Amino acid sequence: MFGHGDLLPGQHEAMTALLEGHDVLLVSPTGSGKSLSYQLPAVILDGPTVVISPLLALQQDQIAGLADGGDKTRAMRISSAETDAQHEEAFDKVATGEVEFLFMAPEQLARPEVLRRTQELAPSLVAVDEAHCVSAWGHDFRPDYLRLGALIDELGRPRVMALTGTAAAPVRDDIVNRLALRNPRIIVRGHARTNIDLQVVPCATAAQQAQQVIEQVLAASGSAIVYCGTRGLTEKVAVMLQRQETSAAAYHAGKAKQARETVHQQFLAGQLDVVVATSAFGMGVDKPDVRLVVHAQVPGSPDAYYQEVGRAGRDREPAEAVLMYRAEDLALGRYHAPAVPRYDEVALVLAAMADPGGPAPDPAQMQAMTGLSGRRVARILNLVGEVTADVDEVSLDLIDAVIGRAEAHRSLERSRVEMMRAYAETHSCRRQFLLGYFGEDMPEVCGNCDTCRAGTSAEYQEVSQTPYAVSTRIRHTEFGGGLVMDLSGDRITILFDELGYRTLHLPTVQDNELFKPPQG
């Protein structure tokens, strides 16, 4: 039916857990077959499947792929691209069993009429694609996803499978909590991607960075994506490549929608060799033969970095991922860390809310009532929704809690920037470093990164005997509770509950007895 002879890492575990009645969070990189993990159980379970997917292009690709499976895998969608009559046809065909999969974006499910018709279908399964969008800690947070947990409840709480390409520990926790996953199985697999050669090129100046990017692209054999931190740099690098008679185009959110779609389609069709883009060139980039991904500047987090790196070598053939590293670029990531709202702004929003502990109000209405921008209102509403406080009226404690939550967001985001510094400057195996960040263990060095080729990773593989293994809970005398994420030589990286990521000198920690006994 699906044309696969075997299963990839994580697929069997995810399918089995779902069929046994568990909700599932599957974290597995781009190209690892996450969709099959819900599609096969969907055909086995009685009742239709609702697929929540954020982009029309992603929906269309999956619908087209399912059409190849025959009558049992037919799919339709509810979106702004179809008429009301087409929506009615889709609901009718799902209700009669002619169609198994119904795709929609979260804002569609939130519409009262769509929610009512979907309730009547009594779905047996809801698949939430790109589930990191649920999380305020994620690298692509989308407020439209915030209500999904409550909306799924309205559907009668069918089984749920949440899927994402990258999600570090705080993002995974957030997804589980926001979607209210029941007795969930959390499966993190497949991030090794050993066919992708990982490299970091230190650069002293911005001019050297740009030149190194050009040299890397010209030396590559096949399609390439260049990621830049600013729109201006995408345009500059694209022009530099065009002057070298390379088929290249810039892509960023400042371009018209039609221009972006043209670049996207030309790249997928092989009519463009190189796309020079900001992170806007993200979900929906499904091209198996990308041979090179270059980051011209340091991205804001390992989450975003590895998501973008994962677009290389999806055909499992050799590919390269090269990061141009200049320490000054880290300031850009710190600048983009979420701002902490002012005390008076939070007070305004809370005062305008009928019930701070109740359903989320309409952001547009709140904007008119408070006089704040829509973006700022949405940010504060999201923070209020995250704060678990049982209050009947506006209180100083609630305002402080909202601001405290915002400060925790900013602290974590800034610590992720520091994790990118640690990745770029490490002498240990780069792949081990990234896998540790995502909670996967890789006992041996990969042999396919620049530190392995230089021989330094083997030296750092000799870790001191310590009870603080990866994924161990610890408590620091000053920083509080946390989770061990990585051990490299005499360095230990902890994801602290309140402070985010910190890399510490292990002998100093041990000599001063800064850790209390491991927990859990």
Instruction: Supply the CATH classification number for the domain 463-520.
Output: 2.30.30
Write the pLDDT tens digit of every residue in 200-242: 999 999 999 999 999 999 999 899 999 999 999 999 999 999 9
pLDDT at 439: 76
CA distance 401 to 407: 10
φ, ψ for residue 251, nearest 5 deg? -145, 120
pLDDT tens-place string over residues 475-508: 899 998 888 877 777 788 888 887 888 888 888 9
Query: What are the backbone dihedrals phi and psi of residue 185, each rounded to the nearest 5 degrees, phi first?
Result: -105, 120
Per the model's pLDDT, the better-predicted residue between 277 and 360 turns out to be 277
Global confidence as pTM: 0.79
- Sort strands 24-27 and 159-164 into parallel, antiparallel or unpaired: parallel
Alpha carbon 158 to its chain centroid, in Å, reads 24
pLDDT at 26: 95
Average pLDDT over residues 108-130: 94
Q: What is the pLDDT of residues 135-144, one digit of tens each?
A: 877 666 676 7
Overall residue count recorded for the chain in this entry: 520
Task: Give 505's strand partners.
Answer: 491
Q: Is the pLDDT of residue 146 over 80?
A: no
CATH 3.40.50.300 placement within the chain:
11-188, 196-335
41: CB partners within 8 A, 6+ apart = 15, 18, 19, 125, 161
Query: pLDDT at position 1, please?
Result: 52
What CATH number does the domain located at 196-335 have? 3.40.50.300
Environment class of 273 (CB within 10 Å of its CB; exposed 0-12, middle 13-18, buried 19+)? middle
Rounded to 5 degrees, what are φ and ψ at 482? -170, 180
List Cβ neighbours of 458 (8 Å cut-off, separation of 6 or more).
445, 452
- Alpha-carbon gap, residue 208 to 296, rounded angstroms: 10
> How far apart, in Å, are the Cα atoms of 379 and each of 25, 102, 136, 261, 346?
26, 30, 10, 29, 10
- What local confidence, expressed as pLDDT, does residue 389 receive? 42
Note the pLDDT of residue 331. 79
Residue 287 reports pLDDT greater than 50: yes
Q: What is the pLDDT of residues 17-58, one digit of tens each?
A: 999 999 999 998 766 678 899 999 999 999 999 999 988 877
| 388 pLDDT tier (thresholds 50, 70, 90) | low
- Distance CA(375)–CA(380), nearest Å, equals 9
Spatial CA neighbour of 167 closest among 183, 154, 184: 184
Q: What is the model's pLDDT at position 368?
A: 86
The residue with greater pLDDT, 350 or 274, is 274
pLDDT at 490: 79
List all residues 6 or more positions away from 228 whose beta carbon is below 8 Å from its beta carbon.
234, 237, 276, 277, 278, 296, 297
* pLDDT attached to residue 333: 67
Partner residues linked to 105 by β-bridges: none
**What is the rounded average pLDDT of the residues 258-287?**
89
Per-residue pLDDT reduced to its tens digit, 419-475: 898 899 888 899 988 988 887 878 889 999 999 999 988 877 665 456 777 667 888
Query: What does DSSP assign to residue 342?
Result: P
- Parts of the chain belonging to CATH 2.30.30: 463-520
State the Cα angle at 85 between 82 and 87, rounded to 5°.
Answer: 55
Asked if 34 and 188 count as a contact pair (C-beta separation under 8 A), the reply is: no
What are the angstrom distances between the C-alpha of 370 and each of 116, 348, 354, 401, 461?
32, 6, 13, 20, 56
What pLDDT is recorded for position 392?
46
The C-alpha atoms of residue 371 and residue 381 are separated, in whole angstroms, by 14
Closest-CA residue to 187 (of 420, 444, 7): 7
Distance CA 516, CA 220 (A): 50
Confidence of residue 303 (pLDDT cuts 50, 70, 90): confident
Contact 234, 228 (CB under 8 A): yes
- What mean pLDDT comes out for the span 92-109? 94
Low-confidence winner among 4-13, 300-309, 381-390, 495-504 (lowest mean pLDDT): 381-390
Per-position DSSP letters for 323-339, written without gaps between them: EEE-GGGHHHHHHTSPP
- pLDDT, averaged across the chain: 86
pLDDT reading at 117 higher than 90: yes
| pLDDT tens-digit series, residues 304-358 | 898 899 899 988 899 999 999 998 888 776 666 678 899 999 999 888 886 665 5
pLDDT, residue 396, reads 64
434 vs 283, residue with greater confidence: 434
Percent of the chain at pLDDT > 70 equals: 89
Pick the CATH number of 11-188 from 3.40.50.300, 3.30.2270.10, 1.20.20.10, 3.40.50.1820: 3.40.50.300
At 484, list the tokens: 């061990």
At residue 394, does pLDDT exceed 70?
A: no
Q: How confident is the model at residue 168 (pLDDT cuts 50, 70, 90)?
A: confident
As a whole-number percent, the residues of the chain with pLDDT over 90 amount to 46
pLDDT band at 373 (very low <50, low <70, confident <90, very high): confident
CA 277/CA 295 separation, integer angstroms = 10
Q: What is the pLDDT of residue 435?
A: 87
